[in-house]
């Protein structure tokens, strides 16, 4: 709700607060004098965690080549981090509430730093996979403390700025990961190649440990809570059954047991909810405070967050495939192409929390969703018009608009979701928010398999068939083959292209691509040009489908925002807010 004139602090009170360092909205509770230094440590840690979610994608081919790893092992290098991260977020948040958020945060930073060192020094694929799993679990312990420490450390007036900076850091990490990963691998500093992607975390982690121990103030739930082991086990099993098939479905060919597992996960999660009710009645120490879901800002905000990040996860992965695989751009060029998105997100990340949402409420976020849809729509037009001839400049305006919309929607979400959460449950609530986000990305990753790759074979077939008449003529003219030979070569080219589109592993070359008609040097030179154009056009077609799907998701987000409060509540943070009916 908006602050009335009677509730608003007077000018004299504001001046006095600047002298005394006391938050006028929080009674006599003094503000932590080291809170901004602590925020710096928290933001750097959050940046490294979010960066590691994308930076490893760029260096995956180099890892595979250097370690002699199979495609499935490299998949687990990427998937293992995400899965371990998602499974430990809620547990990590509750550990902070019970044992102290500063203490648990530093434990997470230590684990993240050590596992990054092990990952960078790995000599075998299994060592790298294990290090990445531990790294993801450490992130799951560390990350919930970031939001909860911000929530309990800053005043109402300052919390918006802190959350804005957190959202800005998250957006930059997610988008810059591709560029930084490409630069580190391409520069190959000290001959470390892909290893520097992980080793770069070590000095930052060590500084965070030392500096964080000095500037972060300890906080925990005021009431003595107990760790809910059974709840943690049920939640872990439920999420494994749900997330694993989503992340590995395409690689395994979408087996029937995957659908059974996802359906059964709902029963396990229902059992978890039932146990949380029992635990609440028994000792008041559940892993997740179910009562928080009666607060409209919390429950509605989580729904918006889940669907929004499902769309963003789908867009981010599809965008990377479109640029690097479809258009054949280098990791560095693909990363630099993301700069208009970063600029757009930067412009709205802070203003949305500090100005737009406080003044216009949910309308500001809904306008952001419309801007996002406009950016996606313009991208559909550009991708369709230029196909394989698209350039970084041609997609700059669509990316800028998408960035503007992303910053306006994404940055205020954590603040809105946790705005009415009592301080003693800040860790648990933050863990749920982060898990919700991670599940959204996982669902988005699954949607890439269905939406993007689902139509790849059809798009490839259509584009190849459109090329064949011109290809036959050029083979006769340039490669100097007979018309009959040109027909055989064109048929072999078509078979190879379609078979490659069917492959789950892009690095696998089908046997049909080694057919004898394709091996002649003059023929290969002609086919290389046609193949590049065909792949670029086919990926552009699939990306158009993905963008159109994301527009539908953004429209659903726009409508769901009507369930959010019209105005952001700004209550006394020392008082527990009354739950708002979810009507």
Of the pLDDT bands very low, low, confident and very high (cuts 50, 70, 90), residue 179 is: low
Least confident of 58-62, 299-303, 311-315, 453-457: 58-62
Return the SS3 of 22.
strand
Confidence of residue 176 (pLDDT cuts 50, 70, 90): low
Stretch among 105-114, 184-193, 399-408, 573-582 having the lowest mean pLDDT:
573-582
d(CA 63, CA 70): 10
Residue 583 has pLDDT above 50, yes or no: no
Average pLDDT over residues 144-159: 82
∠ CA 156-405-306 to the nearest 5 degrees? 70
Distance of CA 79 to CAs 53, 400, 432, Å? 10, 29, 20
Mean pLDDT across the stretch 20-36? 58
CB 55 within 8 A of CB 197: yes
- pLDDT over threshold 70, residue 577: no
Give the per-residue pLDDT at 558.
95
Q: Quick one: pLDDT at residue 316?
A: 81
pLDDT the model gives residue 171: 62
Query: What is the mean pLDDT of the segment spanning 525-540?
Result: 91
Section 248-264 average pLDDT: 86
Q: What is the pLDDT of residue 18?
A: 35
Query: Is residue 277 pLDDT above 80, yes or no?
Result: yes
Taking CA atoms, 74 is separated from 69, 80, 171, 351, in Å, by 7, 10, 25, 39
pLDDT band at 22 (very low <50, low <70, confident <90, very high): very low
Q: Contact at 8 Å (CB) between 565 and 357?
A: no
> What mean pLDDT do residues 447-460 have?
86
For 220, residues 6+ apart whose C-beta sits below 8 A from its C-beta are: 96, 97, 98, 99, 100, 101
**pLDDT over 90 percentage in the chain:** 28
Predicted confidence (pLDDT) at residue 437 exceeds the cutoff of 90: no
Other C-beta atoms closer than 10 Å to the C-beta of 529 total 12
What is the distance between the alpha carbons of residues 320 and 322, in angstroms, rounded to a whole number? 5
Give 444 or 307, the one with higher predicted confidence: 307
Q: Does residue 2 surpass a pLDDT of 50? A: no
- 583 vs 328, residue with greater confidence: 328
* Cα pseudo-dihedral 228, 234, 236, 239, rounded to 10: -140
pLDDT at residue 506 in the model: 64
pLDDT at 138 over 90: yes
Given this model, what pLDDT does residue 183 score?
73
Distance CA 394, CA 435 (A): 36
Long-range contacts of the stretch 8-16 (C-beta < 8 A, 24+): none
pLDDT tens digits for 496-509? 999 988 887 666 78
Q: What is the pLDDT of residues 286-297, one digit of tens each?
A: 888 888 888 777
pLDDT at 368: 94
CB 158 within 8 A of CB 21: no
Helix pair angle (229-252, 71-99), 10° resolution:
160
List CB contacts of 159: < 8 A, sequence separation 6 or more.
150, 151, 415
Per-residue model confidence as pLDDT tens digits over 218-244: 887 777 677 888 988 998 898 888 877
Rounded to the nearest integer, the mean pLDDT of the chain is 81
pLDDT value for 578: 40
Domain boundaries, the chain: 228-284
For residues 110 and 201, what is the distance between their CA atoms, to the nearest angstrom?
11
The share of the chain scoring above pLDDT 70, in percent, equals: 86
Determine the average pLDDT of the residues in 417-435.
73
Nearest to 552 by CA among 433, 380, 396: 380
pLDDT for position 71: 60
Sequential DSSP letters for 206-224: HHHHHHHHHHPPP---SS-
Is pLDDT above 70 for 397? yes
Question: Residue 178: which pLDDT band, with cuts at 50, 70 and 90?
Answer: low
Greater confidence, 47 or 173?
Answer: 47
**Confidence band for 6, pLDDT divided at 50, 70 and 90:** very low
Residue 375 has pLDDT above 80, yes or no: yes
Least confident of 15-24, 83-92, 204-213, 380-389: 15-24
Dihedral (C-alpha) 445, 447, 450, 455: value to the nearest 10 degrees? -100
pLDDT at 70: 66
Over residues 441-459, the mean pLDDT reads: 83
pLDDT band at 177 (very low <50, low <70, confident <90, very high): low
Give 504's contacts (C-beta < 8 A, 6+ positions apart): 250, 251, 253
Whole-angstrom CA distances from 288 to 267, 343, 424, 440, 474 are 17, 37, 12, 19, 66
114-129: pLDDT as tens digits: 999 999 999 888 899 8
pLDDT value at residue 546: 95
Q: pLDDT by residue (tens digit) across 321-369?
A: 788 778 888 767 777 788 888 788 878 877 887 788 888 888 999 999 9
Q: Which helix (H) or strand (E) holds 284?
A: none
Beta bridge partners of 30: 22
Look at residue 44 in the predicted model and tell me its pLDDT. Answer: 87
Q: What local confidence, expressed as pLDDT, does residue 174 receive?
A: 62
């Amino acid at each position: 709700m908006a602050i009335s004139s009677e509730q608003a602090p007077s000018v004299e009170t504001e001046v006095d607060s600047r002298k005394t360092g006391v938050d006028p909205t929080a009674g006599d509770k003094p503000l932590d004098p080291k809170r901004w230094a602590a925020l710096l440590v928290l933001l750097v840690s959050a940046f490294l965690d979010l960066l590691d979610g994308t930076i490893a994608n760029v260096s995956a081919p180099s890892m595979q080549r250097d370690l002699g790893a199979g495609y499935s092992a490299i998949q687990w290098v990427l998937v293992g981090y995400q899965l371990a991260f998602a499974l430990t977020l809620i547990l990590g948040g509750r550990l902070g509430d019970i044992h102290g958020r500063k203490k648990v945060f530093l434990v997470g930073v230590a684990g993240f730093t050590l596992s990054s060192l092990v990952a960078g020094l790995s000599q075998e694929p299994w060592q790298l996979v294990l290090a990445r799993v531990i790294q993801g679990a450490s992130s799951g312990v560390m990350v919930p403390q970031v939001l909860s420490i911000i929530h309990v450390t800053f005043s109402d007036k300052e919390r918006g700025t802190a959350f804005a900076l957190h959202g800005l850091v998250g957006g930059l990490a997610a988008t810059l990961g591709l560029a930084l990963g490409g630069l580190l691998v391409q520069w190959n500093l000290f001959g470390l190649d892909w290893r520097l992607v992980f080793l770069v975390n070590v000095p930052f982690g060590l500084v965070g440990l030392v500096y964080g121990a000095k500037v972060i103030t300890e906080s925990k739930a005021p009431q003595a809570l107990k760790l809910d082991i059974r709840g943690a086990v049920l939640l872990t099993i439920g999420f494994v059954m749900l997330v694993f098939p989503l992340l590995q479905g395409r690689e395994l060919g979408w087996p029937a047991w995957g659908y059974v597992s996802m359906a059964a996960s709902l029963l396990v999660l229902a059992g978890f909810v039932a146990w949380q009710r029992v635990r609440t009645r028994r000792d008041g120490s559940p892993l997740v405070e179910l009562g928080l879901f009666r607060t409209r800002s919390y429950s509605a905000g989580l729904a918006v967050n889940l669907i929004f990040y499902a769309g963003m996860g789908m867009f981010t992965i599809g965008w990377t495939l479109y640029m690097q695989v479809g258009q054949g751009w280098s990791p560095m060029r693909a990363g630099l192409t993301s700069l208009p998105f970063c600029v757009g997100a930067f412009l709205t990340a802070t203003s949305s929390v500090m100005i737009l949402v406080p003044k216009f409420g949910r309308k500001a976020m809904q306008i952001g969703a419309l801007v996002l849809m406009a950016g996606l729509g313009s991208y559909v037009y550009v991708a369709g018009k230029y196909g394989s001839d698209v350039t970084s400049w041609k997609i700059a305006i669509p990316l800028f608009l998408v960035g503007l919309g992303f910053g306006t929607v994404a940055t205020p979400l954590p603040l809105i979701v946790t705005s009415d959460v009592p301080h003693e449950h800040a860790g648990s609530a933050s863990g749920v928010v982060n898990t919700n986000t991670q599940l959204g990305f996982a669902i988005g990753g699954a949607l890439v398999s269905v939406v993007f790759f689902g139509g790849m074979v059809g798009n490839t077939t259509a584009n190849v068939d459109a090329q064949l008449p011109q290809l036959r003529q050029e083979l006769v003219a340039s490669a100097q083959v007979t018309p009959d030979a040109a027909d055989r070569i064109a048929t072999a080219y078509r078979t190879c292209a379609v078979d490659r589109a069917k492959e789950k592993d892009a690095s696998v070359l089908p046997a049909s691509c080694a057919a004898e008609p394709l091996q002649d040097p003059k023929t290969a030179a002609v086919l290389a040009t046609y193949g590049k154009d065909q792949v670029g056009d086919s990926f552009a077609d699939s990306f158009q489908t993905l963008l159109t799907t994301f527009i539908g998701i953004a429209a659903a987000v726009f409508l769901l925002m009507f369930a959010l409060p019209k105005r952001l509540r700004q209550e006394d943070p020392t008082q527990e807010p009354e739950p708002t009916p979810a009507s």
